[in-house]
């Protein structure tokens, strides 16, 4: 897939991995529609060139469907699902059992929200003209290494990201008849604003657990992998770990 001249949709586009990916795709010539919550867009301020912010909740069928109607400049070929939350709570603690509402909200945003965007965007992509190889587009979802090695306190997050990983091959097989590929990226410890807020000492200790390169991952490396997956037409139904060979310890 040639990124230049296509339309791309990025969720969670006003901060973190989504913001970096939206900017990188725009720099490569894509017209990017960036979805995020209104408050996040307000904090982000002015969107980068060729990125248009639209306030939308990924769990809302109506809001996502409306956002997709705004893609008119070029065919939608690439979707990147970055929206998500990462609460920390043990199943049992001094506060009692894990509250059900937090677990349900995490599943709703990280897993159901990803599926909601995937299914609605796939319908739009399926109506476009295929390229000479029969390809119409690519949907990239974001999981986490927590899908495989969830740490203490990550039960809700690990369950939601495990669901994203499990959807990957099924979605790729479902959408193969339409020439739509589906891949997932499972990041390890990336240097996002959320992680930076923990402080330099915590970041240094986290970086020390990464075998090689012996540092935190960079959001730009996530965006680079998105573009590599877009340009490599034979990678389909795959979950790629972006973690420097990290295998998470219990805590």
> What are the phi and psi torsion angles at 120 (to 5°)?
-75, -40
- Measuring CA to CA, which residue among 113, 232, 117 is closest to residue 181? 232
157 tagged catalytic: yes
DSSP 3-state percent helix, strand, coil across the chain (nearest 5) = 40, 20, 40
Q: What residues have CB less than 8 Å from 24, skipping those under 6 apart?
A: 220, 223, 224, 226, 227
- Catalytic hit among 53, 148, 157, 222: 157
Paired with 51 in beta bridges are 32
- What DSSP element (H or E) covers 172? helix 155-175
Query: Which residues carry out catalysis?
Result: 157
């Amino acid at each position: 897939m040639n990124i230049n001249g296509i339309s791309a949709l990025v969720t969670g586009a006003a901060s973190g991995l989504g913001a970096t990916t939206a900017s990188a795709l725009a720099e490569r010539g894509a017209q990017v529609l960036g979805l995020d919550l209104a408050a996040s867009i307000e904090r982000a301020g002015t969107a980068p060139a060729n990125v248009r912010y639209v306030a939308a909740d990924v769990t809302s069928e109506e809001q996502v469907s409306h956002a997709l109607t705004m893609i008119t400049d070029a065919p939608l070929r690439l979707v990147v699902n970055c929206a998500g939350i990462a609460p920390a709570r043990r199943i049992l603690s001094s506060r009692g059992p894990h509250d059900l509402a937090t677990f349900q909200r995490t599943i709703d945003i990280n897993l159901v929200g990803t599926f909601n965007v995937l299914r609605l965007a796939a319908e739009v992509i399926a109506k476009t003209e295929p390229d000479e190889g029969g390809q119409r587009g690519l949907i990239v979802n974001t999981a986490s290494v927590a899908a495989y090695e969830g740490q203490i306190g990550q039960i809700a997050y690990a369950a939601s990201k495990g669901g994203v990983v499990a959807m990957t091959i099924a979605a790729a097989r479902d959408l193969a008849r339409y020439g739509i590929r589906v891949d997932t990226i499972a990041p390890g410890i990336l240097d996002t604003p959320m992680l930076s807020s923990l402080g330099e000492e915590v970041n240094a200790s986290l970086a020390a657990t990464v075998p090689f390169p012996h540092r935190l991952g960079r959001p730009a490396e996530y965006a680079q992998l998105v573009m590599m997956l877009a340009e490599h037409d034979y990678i389909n139904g795959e979950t790629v770990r972006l973690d420097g060979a990290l295998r998470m310890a219990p805590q």
